[in-house]
């Protein structure tokens, strides 16, 4: 097994960056009145995922890393909820939303596996 020296080597972090990019494209199509509402919340939750992965990796201890992975995982759940609200309000492009849901689901599974492996 290879040693990971930087969070930038983590596939889940890379996928998180892609997710953030897709999210920004998705919410750009929201009505202007949503800039400080749901759009802002969605962007914040998405950015939190790779940010917490990076911060946790730099903390130095396994316990800290697991805690920050849990925060990233919780941000994913928050994002999923906010996307469902956007979907129910018919905001954004359906095709983009489907791609985001697929990627978010993959990231959530990866985080869950990492958390469970690092805890044992």
pLDDT in the model for residue 59: 85
Residue 38 has pLDDT above 70, yes or no: yes
**Homologous superfamily assigned to 7-119:** 23S rRNA-intervening sequence (1.20.1440.60)
Give the Cα separation of 23 and 114 in Å (integer). 23
More reliable by pLDDT, 3 or 29: 29
Domain ranges within the chain, ordered by starting residue = 7-119
pLDDT in tens, 41-72: 999 999 999 999 999 998 878 999 999 999 99
34 pLDDT tier (thresholds 50, 70, 90) = confident
Q: Which residues of 8-26 are buried (b: 16+ CB within 10 A; e: fewer)?
A: eebebbebbbebbebbeeb
Percent of the chain with pLDDT over 70: 97
């Amino acid at each position: 097994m290879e040693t990971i020296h930087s969070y930038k080597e983590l596939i889940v972090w890379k996928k998180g960056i892609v997710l953030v990019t897709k999210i920004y494209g998705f919410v750009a199509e929201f009505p202007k009145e949503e800039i400080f509402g749901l759009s802002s919340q969605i962007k914040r939750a998405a950015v939190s995922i790779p940010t917490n992965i990076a911060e946790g990796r730099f903390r130095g201890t396994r316990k800290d890393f697991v805690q920050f992975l849990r925060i990233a995982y919780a941000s994913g759940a928050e994002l999923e909820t906010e996307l469902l609200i956007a979907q129910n309000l018919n905001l954004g492009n359906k095709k983009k939303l489907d791609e985001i849901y697929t990627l978010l689901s993959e990231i959530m599974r990866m985080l869950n596996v990492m958390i469970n492996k690092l805890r044992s």
